Amino acid sequence: MNRYAALLSLLLALLTISGCGFKDIDKRFFVVATGIDWSGNKSKPYRITLQLAIPSPKIEPGASKIQYETIDAPSIAEGVRMLKAYVDKELDFGHCKMMIIGEELAKRDINHSIEWMLRRRDIQSVATLAIGRPTAETVLHVRPASERYPGNALLLSFGADGTESSYNYAETLSGFARRVSEKGMDPALAIITNDGKESYIINQVALFDKEKIKTILTPAETQLFNQMSDHFTKASMHGMFKGTPLVIAINQLNSSFRLQGHTAPVRITMKVKMDVVFEEAPNGLFDKDWLSVEDALATEYEKAAVALLKKIQRHGVDPFGFGLRYRAVYPGKNAWNNWTQLYPDAEFNVEAMVKIEGTGLIR
pLDDT tens, per residue, the chain with 363 residues:
566 666 667 666 655 554 455 566 667 788 999 999 999 999 999 999 999 987 766 666 655 678 899 999 999 999 999 998 988 888 889 889 899 999 999 999 999 999 999 999 889 999 999 999 999 999 998 888 777 777 778 888 887 677 778 888 999 999 999 999 999 999 999 999 987 667 889 999 999 999 999 999 999 999 999 989 876 656 777 766 666 777 888 888 889 999 998 888 999 999 999 988 887 776 666 667 778 888 888 998 999 999 999 999 999 999 999 999 999 999 988 999 999 999 999 999 999 999 988 766 555
pLDDT, position 122: 87
The set of residues, in sequence order, having a beta carbon less than 8 Å from that of 235 and lying 6+ positions away, is: 166, 223, 226, 227, 249, 250, 253
Burial of 80 (0-12, 13-18, 19+ CB in 10 A): buried
Q: What are phi and psi of 20, to 5 degrees?
A: -80, -5
pLDDT, position 29: 82
**HEC secondary structure over the chain:** CHHHHHHHHHHHHHHCCCCCCCCCHHHEEEEEEEEEEECCCCCCCEEEEEEEECCCCCCCCCCCCEEEEEEEECCHHHHHHHHHHHCCCEEECCCCCEEEEEHHHHHHCCHHHHHHHHHCCCCCCCCEEEEEECCHHHHHCCCCCCCCCCCHHHHHHHCCCCCCCCCCCCEEHHHHHHHHHCCCCCCEEEEEEECCCCCEEEEEEEEECCCCEEEECCHHHHHHHHHHCCCCCCEEEEEEECCEEEEEEEEEEEEEEEEECCCCCCEEEEEEEEEEEEEECCCCHHHCCHHHHHHHHHHHHHHHHHHHHHHHHHCCCCCCCHHHHHHHHCCCCCHHHHHHHHHHHCEEEEEEEEEEEECCCCC
pLDDT, position 179: 94
Q: Which CATH class is domain 219-363?
A: alpha beta
pLDDT, position 261: 85
Question: What's the start-to-end Cα distance of the chain, in Å?
Answer: 97
Burial of 157 (0-12, 13-18, 19+ CB in 10 A): buried
pLDDT, position 171: 93
With 0.85 as the threshold, say if the pTM is over it: yes
For residues 51 and 66, the answer to whether their CB atoms sit within 8 Å is yes
pLDDT, position 48: 96
